[in-house]
Every structure is written in C-alpha cells, then in structure tokens.
Amino acid sequence: MSVFRIIWLAIKDLFDELFSLIAVNLLWVLICAPLILFAIFLFGAGSTTLSAVVALLAVLPMGPSNAGLCTVAQRVTEGRVISWRMFFQGFREYLTLSWRVYGLWMIGFIVIVGNLSFYSTMASNIGGLLLVLFFYFLLVWCGLLIYLGPLMLLQTDKRIRVIARNAFLMVVGRPFFTLITLILMVLINALIFIIPIIPLFLTFAFLAIWSFRATTTLIAEAEARRLARQEQAAQAANNRPNTDKGRGGQVRPRD
C-alpha cells in the first residue's frame, strides 16, 4: 500500500471521529506542549544542557500521553467507538512502559543532536563525514518514532528490546516508505509555525492515526510475505521427487 493511500485512510479516520479526536488532541497539547516548547526555546537560546534536561523531563507527560493517543488511534483504525476517556485509559495502562520506551528514545535523540552540533563546528573532512553519519542516524532515529507507539500496543511481547528491534526492522526494511512518511510528517508539523491553530485541534491525533495505519500496513505486508514463503516451501516439498526407494527400485513405504 502506498504512503499516500495510507494518508487518505488516516484523513478519513480523522473526519469520521472529528469531534472526539479534537478533544483528545487538545488533551495532548495541554499536557505535553509546555515542557516541549520550553525545551525548544532553551535550545534556540543556546542553553543546550538545560534544554536536554527539560526534554528528558518532558518524557514524563509525553510518554503516557502518546500511549493515550495511540490507544485512541488503534480504536479509530479498527472502526470502533471512541471517547476522550480512552485517552486516559491508555495513559494509565502504559504509564511505565511508555516512560521506558520514549525515555530511551529521547536519550538517543539528545546524544545524536549533541554530536551533530559538535561535528558541525569541525572544519575538516572527518568532521564532515561524521556530520553526515550522525545525520543519517538522526533520520533512522526519528523514523523509529513512527512505529514505537503502535508497536507498544500491538505487541504481546512488551519487552523494550523487542519493541525497539521490530521498529528498527520496519525502518531499515522499508526505508523509502519510512523516509517519505517521515518527511511528510515533518512538513505537517511545520504547520505549527505557519498556522498555530491547526496543531491545537488536529495535528497530533492525525499523526497518531497515520502512524498506526503505517505500522499495521507494514505488519500485514510482512505477514503476507511470510505466508507466501510458507506456501512456496510447501509446494516445493510436494514437487520434490521421492528418492526414498527400496531394493529393486521400489518405493519404500513411509512409517
């Protein structure tokens, strides 16, 4: 399924439950935006260390709030009834797990951005190569953010390394799909600075639904490939000539 087909389905989902999703989006903004905006302000002002500390603190409200958004997004994509109360249901249910998942992601993000900032000041070929390398790491790391939240809910195995491994396999297994999705999501987030009223009402709920659609699509495609391989293996086994012969060239009966 193409990226744009998934976007269209996410838009339909958004408008099917518009008013409930506006309420959920407002809840996310009220809970998460203050610390995130403060961290961005400090980084822009040059207080990088303090910005990193505030970004880590922002995980405390943002992690479970993302889990709440994903809980609502899952029900929307499955065609089930939602309400704003389900946001707090997901918030409570995945409180600890979301802190661990998004806390580790934020630590990695801070390390990568710190290295990018450091190597951008080096006027050498090595500095330039390392800058490109860490920029690639940043793309992969941000790509993980598309799949981490949905996998946190969808997987029966809730271990961090399993969630991280599967998210990483989705990123590297479908790099162009992930890159195009990530670029389009960044462009939509840019609307925050152009039309501030849009993120207040819709943006983050839409991104959660979009991420859930993208994740379930890749899971379905992977499952289809696995079943196709099994069918091919079974057909190959059925077509394989039987060489288990007894004396005189007769086929020896199997037990």
Residue 224, number of CB atoms within 10 A of its CB:
10
Q: Name the more confident of 173 and 191.
A: 173
pLDDT confidence of residue 127: 78
Token pair 């819709």 is at which residue?
202
Q: What is the pLDDT of residues 193-237, one digit of tens each?
A: 677 676 678 889 999 999 999 999 999 998 888 888 888 877 877
Distances (CA, A) of 103 to 12, 52, 232: 32, 12, 42
DSSP assignments along 88-125, one per residue: HHHHHHTHHHHHHHHHHHHHHHHHHHHHHHHHTT--SH
Residue 5 has pLDDT above 60, yes or no: yes
Alpha-carbon distance 44 to 227, whole Å?
50
For the chain, domain boundaries: 3-236
| Residue 245: DSSP 8-state | B
Residue 168 has pLDDT above 50, yes or no: yes
Residue 57 has pLDDT above 70, yes or no: yes
Dmax (CA) of the chain: 89
Alpha-carbon distance 148 to 142, whole Å?
10
pLDDT confidence of residue 252: 46
Question: Which burial class, exposed, middle or buried, applies to 50 when counting CB atoms under 10 A from its CB (0-12, 13-18, 19+)?
Answer: middle
Residue 136, number of CB atoms within 10 A of its CB:
11
Q: Over the chain, what is the mean pLDDT?
A: 88
Nearest CA-CA partner of 73 in 186, 4, 65, 172? 65
Question: Which backbone phi and psi does 196 adopt, to 5 degrees?
Answer: -60, -25
pLDDT confidence of residue 161: 93
Total-model pTM: 0.85
